[in-house]
Amino acid sequence: MKISQLGEKKLIRRLLKKRDEKLPNTHPMIIQSYHDDAAIQPNTTKYTTLSTDMLIEHTHFPKKMTPYDMGAKSVCVNVSDIIAMNSKPESILISLGLPPTMSIDEFDNLIDGILDTCEKYDITLIGGDLNTSDEIIISATSVGISDGNIKFLNNIQKNNLIAVTGKLGSPAAAYDLIYHEDADIPEIEKQEIIDSFIKPTIPYDTFKFLHKHPKLIMAMTDITDGLAVELGHLHDNNNGYGFKINKELIPYNKYIKQVAKRNNKKLNDYLLHFGEEFELLLILDENEYIKYKDQLEDITVIGYVNCDDKITILENNGKEFEVKTQGYEHLSGEK
């Protein structure tokens, strides 16, 4: 059966039924607002943090992505922006543009991806909209809360540490594995690399620890547009400061070097200029980092802040080069 055979009202009722089954611990005021003109979000803290993203099928969803993966990614993208401000994610609104030819099973899988990921990150789907589109479009707005320890981009100091969560470069390698040249690497490693692109996750457990220890963080952002671009954003917001990155310290899956070589690319292209990692780029206070280092297994220090007013990479051979802050940008061509 196609979704066009059910129509908007029955699809919404179907969605709400699934939502209530998967996310039962919802604030009574939110439940009361379900069928009203607007959603309710209890205001229990000093600040509310908001972020919105639109994902379009032909641009943001690789061909191996299932409807479930698409729904999951739409939540990850938005929650990632909230935690990058050191705010606690609370809720999300999601509007869907769907082709009438979509099957009910595909619709259910899409909604399951959204709701399972909401449950994973302890947030509630509080509202949205549903309309017809030629392709799948998911536009979401996430809501976070903060008592005041919000982390902006413009609070760094000389000798602060530069760090990242997780591993970088795998989504870029996955893109080439899916669309261009395959590589002779172990299947388990290949699937892990591909999953980093089609089944993205965010470092939520690490965020929860950082959130409890705000003095650790001077500034942070998520790495959605490539490490070079995100470093550039930090540089633009901190006049006079520079960053020195030791490439040898950047964490990555060793097999992406083979994928890069197979596709006539450099490892730096993957590590610096692609993005889609949804990891955190952190500027840390050195003394606080030393205090908690043993509890920060997912965090890797890759450099430090100086006063050179530029971004430089120290290569494995000891040579340095200044980074060009290129990466993905909408309305300006392809990656």
* Binding annotation for Mg(2+): 37, 51-53, 81, 129, 222, 225
Place of tokens 């799948």: 136
Binding residues: 37, 51-53, 60, 81, 128-129, 222, 224-225, 276, 328
Tokens coding 308:
């050179």
CB of 118 closer than 8 Å to CB of 73: no
Instruction: Decide: helix, strand or coil at residue 96.
Output: strand
CB 276 within 8 A of CB 197: yes
Residue type at position 187: E
Instruction: For residue 256, give both structure tokens.
Output: 């992406």
The whole-angstrom separation of Cα 180 and Cα 2 is 33
Which SS3 state, helix, strand or coil, does residue 219 take? strand
Instruction: Work out the burial of residue 48: count CB atoms within 10 Å of its CB; fewer than 13 is exposed, 13-18 middle, 19 or more buried.
Output: middle
Half-sphere exposure of 261 (CA within 13 A, CB side): 8
| Residues annotated in a binding site for substrate | 60, 276, 328
The amino acid that residue 310 corresponds to is K
Residues annotated within a binding site for ATP = 128-129, 224
Integer CA distances (angstroms), 306 to 158, 240, 300, 309, in order: 5, 9, 18, 8
Q: Is there a contact between 109 and 67 (Cβ–Cβ < 8 Å)? A: yes
**Residue pair 122/26 in contact by the 8 Å Cβ criterion:** no
Q: Name the CA radius of gyration of the chain, rounded.
A: 21
Query: Which residue in this structure is represented by tokens 């990614």?
Result: 73
Q: Name the strand (E) or helix (H) holding 69.
A: helix 67-83
Q: From CA 67, how far away is CA 138, in angstroms rounded?
A: 11
